[in-house]
Amino acid sequence: MALPDMLPMLVIGLYFLGTGFYVLGSALRNERIKLSALALAAVGFVLHGIDLAGQVAGLNAFTTPTSARFLFCLLGFGILVIFLLLWWRLKLRFLAVVALPLALVFYATANAAMGTNANLPPMLSGLFFLLHIGTLFASMALLAMAFGAGLAFLHLEKRIKTKTGLKKFQQDMPSLDTFDRVNHWTVVIGFPLYSLGLISGFVWAWMTSRRVFSFDPKEILALLVLGLFAYLFHQRLAYGWRGRKPAVMTIAVFLLMVLSMIGINFLVSTTFHGFKP
């Protein structure tokens, strides 16, 4: 079997082992196991990047930039890139417990969706692809990290308030303030990116069909996400929202994004944005 054919299995296997060993290392508070897990995931990340580069270069005849496989591969890769940036900037290695399984899920979904393509006109290429797909995926990758930080914040806050104490592996968790900083930065950067992605999509729709809004299910959900995201952005910056409320809202916004990306694209036949064989 040639290396290109083995890449998906290798990446999935490495991400699976990296996730499992990192959870085990966290439970045992064993630094060596956690470092081994990150090393396995790093090899998977490099191979994942090689896979993406091959798809962009057209080395895979069954994958194009509008295929479901490429888009989900790109999203999984973007989540790990954002995780690495947060690790470097905020020393939040703990978020590996969220980033690795999400990367695994999206990469596995990509390979399960082999042979399906997004129903996109030819104009959505080059600059428009970057402005629309690139910015939306970047904001979703940011919200994925806020999603993980939000879950950790709520869990840690509950244990502190109820004075139940922290389990062994939870004692290595960052402070509530650190998780809130993740929420702040992902919202401050993610909302403008999401807005740019949505606006560029409406501009592209006008250029191709002279219609800005067509009551497509995905467009309706996208506007709902924009409204919630805008409210969260405003409350954080204008009123200094901190803690539980923004954590809950980022979790909700991310789940709605996932519903839009997976649920509507695959399950709703009336959407213009769906994946087709």
Tell me the pLDDT tens digit for each residue of 82-103.
Answer: 999 888 887 778 888 889 999 9
The radius of gyration of the chain from alpha carbons, rounded to an integer in Å, stands at 19
pLDDT digits (tens, 9 = 90+) for 99-136: 999 999 999 988 877 766 665 555 555 566 677 778 88
Average pLDDT of the residues in 235-261:
88
The answer to whether the beta carbons of residues 205 and 211 sit under 8 Å apart is: yes
Domain limits, the chain: 1-77+93-116, 119-271
- What are the backbone dihedrals phi and psi of residue 270, each rounded to the nearest 5 degrees, phi first? -85, -5
More confident residue, 118 or 18: 18
**Which residue type, as a one-letter code, is found at position 173?**
M
pLDDT band of residue 66 (cuts 50, 70, 90) is low
Residue 4 has pLDDT above 80, yes or no: no
pLDDT band of residue 2 (cuts 50, 70, 90) is very low
Whole-structure pTM over 0.85, yes or no? no
Residue 243 has pLDDT above 60, yes or no: yes
| Greatest alpha-carbon span in the chain | 59
